Amino acid sequence: MRKTNAFALLVALFVALPGAPTSAQFGLPNALNKLDPLLQPRATQSGRSRVVLSVTDARSLTLLTTLVQLAGGVVGRSLPIINGLAADVPNAALPLLAGNPIVVHIAMDRVAVGALERTGATVGSTAVRQALGLDGSGVAIAIIDSGSAATLDDLSDPVAGGTRVDQFVDLVNARQTPYDDYGHGTHVTGIVGGNGFDSSGRRSGIAPAARLIELKVLDASGQGRISDVIAAIGYAVAQKDAWNIRVINLSVATGVYESYNLDPLTLATRAAVDAGIVVVAAAGNNGRSQQGATSYGGTTAPGNAPWVLTVGASSHMGTIDRADDTVATFSSRGPSAVDDAAKPDVVAPGVGTESLSDPNSAFYVTKSPYLLNGTVPTSYLPYLSLSGTSMAAPVVTGTVALMLQANPGLTPNAVKAILEYTAQRYPGYDRLTQGAGFLNAAGAVELAQFLASAPGTPYPSTSGWSTQIIWGNRLIQGGQLTAHASAWSTLVTWGDRTTPTGQPITWGTSFHDTGRNVVWGNRCGGADCHTTWTVANNGDAVVGADDGDTVVWGTDDGDTVVWGTSADDGDTVVWGTSCTDPSCEPVIWPTQ
């Protein structure tokens, strides 16, 4: 009787709202469209689901709590960064909740997992630290992972004493003392900011003086929920100014089931980027099929979002010589599922990466063959060798910290552009495999410092740089980056055609006419504007068609890669390199 009365009250409350649908309308397809693809079939099934609900505005959160409770749900963590909350609800209540006009979207609270001494020398971060005196000082990095112990030698502060772990928030077990019962977060933290104390500096991270904010979202088995990840992102945004949090590292991943414009996890990362925080995410480890063939379209969330800096993995092949570097076979290729976005953005070393171990973690037992000694006496083996895009992402995160130390005024878009522009492209890899190219930390930090310098400073040598950026699904090349281009505004989303006021987006100056802005987009309508790009000497086709329908890029060997729909019905997207072998067929990536 009590359950029936609660249901009746719930329906009455829905109908009493201004503009609310009638009870007869609940469950119609328009309401079910608010459910993500994983939840839609559950709406007609028995049982319960863990979900993330978002509403129209923050004022509606209190009402949402009441609605969930009246529907027989258990309210979980509040997620103000997306105007939402996590909950456990009966499947039968999903159509009713979706039918409420204050509810914008309901998504499955998906499981998130970890996406797994030559690295610094390979990407050039060691050299640039020595040459420019940069070490990440003053920059705080939020590491959203499985946590980290604060007492490890390599996380100490040799100047002030104590630890560089300034904050530890446990969103799994609510413990106060820093710890890592899994081990993944400790390894990631060491790549970002270990100082190499136990190895006499040999196994130091990329930014060994950076401050560390540890946000634990993965449990002892390496699993978590996207609601916890969203809450951790929200914490980083809320504490941004208090701790000078400039970067978030997400070496955690989950599947892509809906557009990045709907997924609450990717929307949380967008809020962080809009707040001026660079969000770095692992691309995922889905580059090989179960049969061992190269697989495309495996980029994981939140790395599928254009505003996220998505990192694939390369291998330094055990040397510091860049010439023998390769893309790791496991590294996820683009395009992203559902939205067909060009990913990754760059690749960085992620094979055999030597970083910190935690003797109290699961990794210390399960990965014991990969434990390594340091150079000073310790009671345990302090280092561990691991591979994965989880290891590649923090290499980029540490590089970003060096860039922001050199130039604190950089926005997330500017950081991403510099990393792509200075990346080193390798022949034999398409852009859905290597993105803009292999990370060049030395070039990125040098260019970041240049853009903060006084006018008249010579532009750094671009030898070996890609001198290109992939703006959304468009390849931009033929100019030099400038410090105050409109593309770097936090009001501009990566890939936008125009600014919020409708003005053409600028990104730099022409190589041949440094007094003119270089812009892209359709019909920018001004004299200081280039709407059409040309084919470069190396065979790369550069986009800029006025109709905006087709995006084309190419490879160094002159083969054209077409990115876009191949037919009016939009059923297929064609990508890949053309070939002269009659037996070679185009690769088709379905959009459905």
> What are the structural domains of the chain?
2-109 (3.30.70.80), 113-452 (3.40.50.200)
Strand segments, DSSP code E, in 83-198 are 84-90, 103-108, 111-114, 140-145, 165-170
Taken in order 564, 567, 573, 577, is the CA torsion positive or negative?
negative
The full length of the chain comes to 592
Q: Specify the pLDDT at position 129.
A: 64
**Hey, what are 239's tokens?**
């504490």
**pLDDT (tens digit per residue) in 211-225:** 999 999 999 999 999
**pLDDT (tens digit per residue) in 434-458:** 999 999 999 999 999 999 986 667 7
Residue pointed to by tokens 């939020």: 142
Q: Specify the pLDDT at position 536.
A: 34
Average pLDDT in the chain: 81
Q: Specify the pLDDT at position 116.
A: 56
**pLDDT (tens digit per residue) in 121-153:** 555 556 666 667 789 999 999 999 999 999 999
SS in 3 state form for 373-437? CCCCCCCCCCEEEECCHHHHHHHHHHHHHHHHHHCCCCCHHHHHHHHHHHCECCCCCCHHHHCCC
Query: Does position 424 have pLDDT exceeding 50, yes or no?
Result: yes
**Hey, what are 507's tokens?**
């990104």
**pLDDT (tens digit per residue) in 1-43:** 444 454 445 554 554 444 444 333 444 457 889 999 999 999 9
What percentage of the chain exceeds 90 in pLDDT? Answer: 63
Query: Does position 81 have pLDDT exceeding 70, yes or no?
Result: yes
Please give the positions annotated as active site: 145, 184, 390
Q: Residues 503-513: what's their mean pLDDT?
A: 69
Query: Does position 257 have pLDDT exceeding 50, yes or no?
Result: yes
Q: What is the identity of the amino acid at 382? A: P
Q: Specify the pLDDT at position 585.
A: 31
Q: Residues 235-259: what's their mean pLDDT?
A: 97
117 or 352: which leads in pLDDT:
352
> Predicted confidence band at 188 (pLDDT cuts at 50, 70, 90)?
very high
Is pTM, for the whole model, over 0.95? no
Q: Specify the pLDDT at position 587.
A: 31
Q: For the ranges 57-71, 100-114, 507-521, which has the lowest average pLDDT?
A: 507-521
